[in-house]
A and B are shown apart, each in its own frame.
Chain A
C-alpha cells in the first residue's frame, strides 16, 4: 500500500507551519504504511552544502566527527545531530570528498543539497516524527511517506524518500517490474542505485534525466515510457514539486490547491485538516499526466 503526503507552499507566511502540517498529514497515513516513515523538507538555503547522514550508532559515530572532517578537508564544518541523523553544513565543492569519507566509514548519506534535509527511519510515523522533531521544522515544501514494504526489506535505507541528486527526492506508492533492467542501464550511465529497492531506481532515473538537461516535467514524463509497473510518484526539487501516476492509476491520489499551497495525499483524509480545505480546489490527478509546480 504506502501513504504519500506532500505540501508545496505558495504563501511564505505558512513556512513556520510546514513541519506541523506535514506531520499531521503523515500520521493520518499510518494505516497505509506502518513499517517506516520519512520526510524530505526544503528549508532555508544556508551558505554552503547541506548533507544529511545517518548512523545506527549515532552516539559513537557523530562524536568527534566535526573535528575529524575539518581535519580531513581543512575547512570549517558544522554539524547538527538529530536522533540517528545529522545535518552537516559543508563548504562548497567538498561534497564528493565528504561522501567518500562517509563511505569509507560506513556512514550513510541520505541526501545532499542547498536546502533539502531528509529524515527516515523504521517505525510508526508518529514515533519517527517525534524522534526527529518534524513538527518544529519550517520550510517552503516537503514530501513525506509511510511505507508498507513490498519489493525490499524494512530497513532505514529501504524507507522513502530517496534522494539520488542534489536537492532531489522521490517517494513512491506502487511497485516497479522493470527495475532490475533499469538498474543496469542507470549503473552504466553512472547513476547506480545503492540498494535493491525498486523506488530508488525511479529516483536515479529522474536524477539521470535532470542531469541530461531535462526539466522536472520532462523527467516525469519519461517515467511513463521507461518505467513499467504501478506507481504514483511525488518528487521534490529545490524549487519544484511534481506528481505523476502510471496509466492504469490503481494507486490512489488526491490533490488540493488554494492560494496558499498545493497539497498531495494518498487519500483525502490526509488533506482534511489543512487550512482552507473547505474551499480548496480538490481533484484526483489524471492517469499518465504530469503535474508540476516550480517557483
Chain B
C-alpha cells in the first residue's frame, strides 16, 4: 500500500505518480490522505490500480479514468469521473453537479445523492446512484445506463438519445422527448447486473425505464421551419 499525503505532496506530483503506473504494476493499492476538497485528484489514470481517497474531493476527481478503481470515502465536487473511459469510480458520500458527464465507459457508483446534471451527455458510461439525482440529469445522454434508486429532479433525460434511464422513485418531470418505456426481460437483466456490481440492495422489477421517444433527433419535414 502506497500512501500519499496531500498536505505534503503537491497535486501534480500525486497525479504524475499515479499516471506513471504501468499495466503490470505491483503497486496496485494507493491511499490518498488530506484531500480537503482539492481539484483534479487522481485524473487521467490508465492502469488497473486501486486508489482510495480518504475524505472529500473538489472539482473533477477521477476524470478521464481508464482501468483504475477510484474510491472516495467522503463526497465529491462537480464533474466527478467526467469523461471516464473504463474502470470504476465509487463515491461513498454525495456527488455534486454533472457527475459522470460525457463518460464513455466504466462504472460510476454514488452511494449518496447526486445533484443536477448527473450523466449529462453520457456516451456509454454506467452510473448507479443509490440516492436521488437533481434536475436536468442525463441531458442529451447518448448511450449507457443511468440507474437511480431514489428520485429524479426536473427535466430528466431532456433531448435524450439512446441512453437507458432506470428510476425506482418519483420523477419530478421528464424533459423534452423523454418517455417512460416498457421494461422487457433484457432490461431486467441489464439492470440486475448493474445493481449487483454497484452493491445496491434493490430489485430490478421496482424500477421504471425511461428513454428517448426519438422524435427530436430525426429530421421531420413538418418541422423544417423550426430548425
Contact = CB atoms under 8 A, between A and B. Distances in A.
B135 interface: yes
A228 interface: no
28 contacts: A249-B115, A250-B97, A252-B77, A252-B96, A254-B96, A267-B37, A267-B58, A268-B37, A268-B56, A268-B58, A268-B75, A268-B77, A269-B36, A269-B38, A269-B58, A270-B37, A271-B37, A272-B37, A272-B56, A273-B36, A282-B75, A282-B93, A283-B94, A284-B94, A284-B115, A286-B134, A287-B116, A287-B134
Contacts, number: 44
Interface residues of B, number: 17
A252 B115 CA distance: 11
Interface string A250-276: 101010000000000001111111000
B78 interface: yes
A252 B97 contact: yes
A271 B78 CA distance: 16
A268 B115 CA distance: 15
Interface residues of A, number: 17
A252 B75 CA distance: 14
A272 B58 CA distance: 11
Contacts of B36: 268-269, 272-273
A25 to B, nearest CB: 12
Nearest to B55: A272
Nearest to B115: A284
A286 B36 CA distance: 23
A250 B117 CA distance: 10
B134 to A, nearest CB: 7
Contacts of A268: 36-37, 56, 58, 75, 77
B46 to A, nearest CB: 27
Interface string B26-38: 0000000000111
Contacts of B75: 268, 282
